[in-house]
Amino acid sequence: MDWQFKLAYHLFSDCQVIFLEDLQIANLIRRCKAKLGDNGQFLPNGQSAKSGLNKSLQDAAFGQFVQVLEYVAWKLGKKIIKVDPKGTSQHCWKCLNKVSKSLSERWHSCAKCGQELDRDYNSALLIQKIGLFSTQEEDITSVKTAVSFSLAEESRALP
């Protein structure tokens, strides 16, 4: 807990706002649903691999760290903006074009604007962009509202 507070104060020493994905931790650590085969036997469902991730998420106390960040932000008069994670890995951060990909694809390639970068880095940049939009307009906290906002901005810019 001490380390989390020190890290939170350190993070806010350089910035006024932090953007986070609004993850539902309980959903991330939930057990996989059982899969039954035609003969009534259980099929592999990936639970043994996921149990390691579950333990890591609980060990890291991610949810607790978010609460610490929120408290420190309040204490320092700074801000935390939570972004809806839905679609953050399926859209291009630069042009907001939807670029569908499976979970196993780790590279983001946008056919519209030509962006080529790691999928997770693309998601981080998109979360930052949505967060920056939300500092301009109160109701922008998701990819869907960011796309609408961006389209409205483009239409206003046209003569």
Residues 149-158 have pLDDT tens digits of 887 777 777 6
- Quick one: average pLDDT of 66-87? 93
DSSP three-state, residue 18:
strand
Domain boundary among 47, 82, 117: 82
- List Cα–Cα distances, 1 to 62, 80, 146, in angstroms: 11, 19, 35
Same domain, 93 and 132: yes
DSSP three-state, residue 19:
strand
Provide the pLDDT for residue 15. 92
Domain boundaries, position 152: 84-159
Q: What is the pLDDT of the chain when averaged over all its residues?
A: 83
Higher pLDDT, 136 or 122: 122
Domain boundary among 49, 82, 115: 82
Same domain, 33 and 74: yes
Q: pTM to 2 decimals?
A: 0.74
Provide the pLDDT for residue 60. 60
Domain boundary among 29, 62, 82: 82
Give the span between the Cα atoms of 11 and 17, in whole angstroms: 10
Same domain, 89 and 64: no
71 neighbors 11 (Cβ within 8 angstroms):
no
Same domain, 71 and 137: no
pLDDT of 132 above 70: yes
